[in-house]
Structure 1
């Protein structure tokens, strides 16, 4: 089948799922690039689906934490893996963006970042098979730092490539489909782990899981390299660090962007509460491996079911999605606090925790899709790269500060932490409602 027929077939599928009729909507991208929109649309969906599944199979809150404990790594090293993975990919972005801005075509930055993530996760698998104790722990930490920096490359580049290749009012739906497809694959992974509960799952099994996860980034890089990206704006050749600090002035001068960063910071509550739902289940039901499988499945179903709807809503009002998702997160947290404190028959129920995690997964999916769509639509041209870099750098600092929140467990109850984070979510819903609309 020749390229023209492939493009024509992809165009028909694209028009059908996006309800395009007489003329394709191509807001804020050149007309000569519009004909490649269907191809780029599906290539981005496939690559995002692969990397999101890889993220689940190498999740620091579950797989990597278990792995480090299995190889007898020191506890103090295990406590660093979540902050490093999340904030390590965000903090350097303000400097990375200075170099990326000089590149007229930026998809190759994403490809390089994806290949580096493959090397990092595969390296962790090798370390798990051949090292133990503190040495294994430090090697995993070093590889996780590399992984986080590579994620930073992909994060900055992906937003810009998305903005250059996919028109407004179609970006949220794209993200929704990618999350939905990866959610289905996550369900399969969770069922597989439950199936393996009664068999011998030694270190070799988890090594294979990590190698498989690593291979997904290679496949994603190959798919992403096929995107048709036109040459965009470039910045001058100034000093990267100086440009980085100068770029922070965006927070001072750009009020809509500053308010978005404040809202995004408060909306971190949807992500920060997730591990405490797991801790509650462990405290009440025990630590059998099937419980972890149930949580993985619940999260996968939540993404699969809700992401397309959130994505479609985000194309109409991305700030509205942020508000609704934050309200769900906060209301759920308050409900869970009440149940744990005063409703013993629900507190001891085995279905209650996976169900609440399912609802939280729906809400968190909305928060992520809403804020990702909002920041891409808010910016234009080179401002998009700057917005993503500054926003992620600030959030990285906040994550490091809140990374020690687990220490509060010794001072207040787990459900108390969920309640406190729910109040942050309420504040995030209020600040998000005051953001300007960016879809028109």
Structure 2
């Protein structure tokens, strides 16, 4: 009789599997390695998410660029560039990935390139200032984003091949929760360090530490047991990429998902404007950065497991409900800042709002990622992810640029407009068919 490993016991426990293991939507051969792969993916993603948080353009990189006196217009573009740079080329990336029977190595390469890009940003922070620092950070942020695109497409495909449907949302929830605990520790350390005066050396070392997280993530991910998959349709990258854009015309469900996801960008795009409001009314003390990081970590710890379980039942409802939270928060903050001048100077207001937004954004991300993985099978999943991210990347770059320009006139006004778009996205999300 085969002995049961501790990973199998723990996997069965946290997924409530008392009898035969559920292996919907994956091969029987892959089912045998599901527990091991489950925890390898969890650990790898935990480290990459910690690295993401400690170099987040909405908080850390914005703070760093301001500290080294980079031009304001460059700071305004770091969020759109970081996000869209990883999305726009994904149709071509997907064509390359489809030629690979095993796709975990694409993720490993992407993670190592992210490590090198972030090391370069740390060196820039340590040794340069002004416009030079700003442009160099933008340059290496572009290479970072392109590398992130490799990981984005490959990770969803590997997840779909190794983890059964009904367990993917829960895995993502646990990942966000565990990384949130580590983020909380990092935020507390930043608040402690602020008493001693944070300088460019401290910020650059923070970025160096973040870079190492991707290297660790790559090493862990390399241990995943992945079986060879289909490689059809991987030739003539540009031609194949354009052909797959036809999915928007022929697949109504996918088209509606794209529309919903575009409108749900409100939860991501409004985040830096909460930070801008805090800087405007409370100042740029480094302890505020620690508070925002702690708020983000707490939001992940509290909400991600709940969102994960909900997403395994209905990921489209998670998208819709989380978007309602983000949108109503934005409307409330607009009214408070515009019509209650005393309240806008409260030091607790902006970290608390960022905490609530973090809960909502966690739900939006987890819901739409689970939805798109569960909506398709095999190579079609890679097509969905690539087409979706390419289109969203373009939309994000356009709306991000407009939002950055508009924020010069009215930061709280941008929050309101984006929140109204979020309400529309919530409605469309609820009208999508269930895929679980």
Shorter-chain TM-score range: over 0.9
**C-alpha displacement at 1:344, in angstroms?**
4.1
Determine if the alignment matches structure 1 residue 39 to structure 2 residue 51.
no
CA distance, structure 2, for counterparts of residue 62 and residue 419 of structure 1: 20
**In the superposition, relative to structure 1, how do residues 159 and 81 fare at CA in structure 2: closer, same or farther (>3 Å)?**
same
**C-alpha displacement at 1:237, in angstroms?**
4.9
**C-alpha displacement at 1:277, in angstroms?**
1.5
1:22-421 paired onto structure 2 within 5 Å: 22-404=19-401, 405-411=403-409, 413-421=410-418
Match of 2:21, SS state, is coil
Deviations 1:73-113 (A, max 9, x none): 33443333222111000000011100100111000000000
Match of 1:79, SS state, is helix
**TM-score, L = length of structure 1:** 0.95
The answer to whether the Cα contact below 8 Å between 2:70 and 2:133 also exists between their aligned partners in 1 is yes
Deviations 1:39-78 (A, max 9, x none): 0100001011100110111112232233333334334433
CA distance, structure 1, for counterparts of residue 154 and residue 77 of structure 2: 26
Deviations 1:120-161 (A, max 9, x none): 001111222233343333322221111111000000000000
The answer to whether the Cα contact below 8 Å between 2:58 and 2:271 also exists between their aligned partners in 1 is no
Determine if the alignment matches structure 1 residue 423 to structure 2 residue 420.
yes
**TM-score, L = length of structure 2:** 0.96
Gaps (5+ residues) in structure 1?
none
Deviations 1:370-401 (A, max 9, x none): 00000000010100100000000000000111
Q: Please, what is the CA RMSD of the aligned residues? A: 1.5
CA distance, structure 2, for counterparts of residue 67 and residue 287 of structure 1: 11
Higher mean Cα deviation, 160-169 or 81-90? 81-90
The answer to whether the Cα contact below 8 Å between 2:77 and 2:404 also exists between their aligned partners in 1 is no
CA distance, structure 2, for counterparts of residue 32 and residue 402 of structure 1: 45
CA distance, structure 2, for counterparts of residue 287 and residue 131 of structure 1: 21
**In the superposition, relative to structure 1, how do residues 234 and 21 fare at CA in structure 2: closer, same or farther (>3 Å)?**
same
1:13-28 paired onto structure 2 within 5 Å: 13-28=10-25
In the alignment of these two chains, the number of paired residues is 434
CA distance, structure 2, for counterparts of residue 323 and residue 359 of structure 1: 16
Deviations 1:322-368 (A, max 9, x none): 11101111111122222223334433322222212111111110000
**C-alpha displacement at 1:283, in angstroms?**
2.5
CA distance, structure 2, for counterparts of residue 419 and residue 241 of structure 1: 39
CA distance, structure 2, for counterparts of residue 202 and residue 291 of structure 1: 15
Higher mean Cα deviation, 186-195 or 123-132? 123-132
Gaps (5+ residues) in structure 2?
none
**C-alpha displacement at 1:212, in angstroms?**
0.9
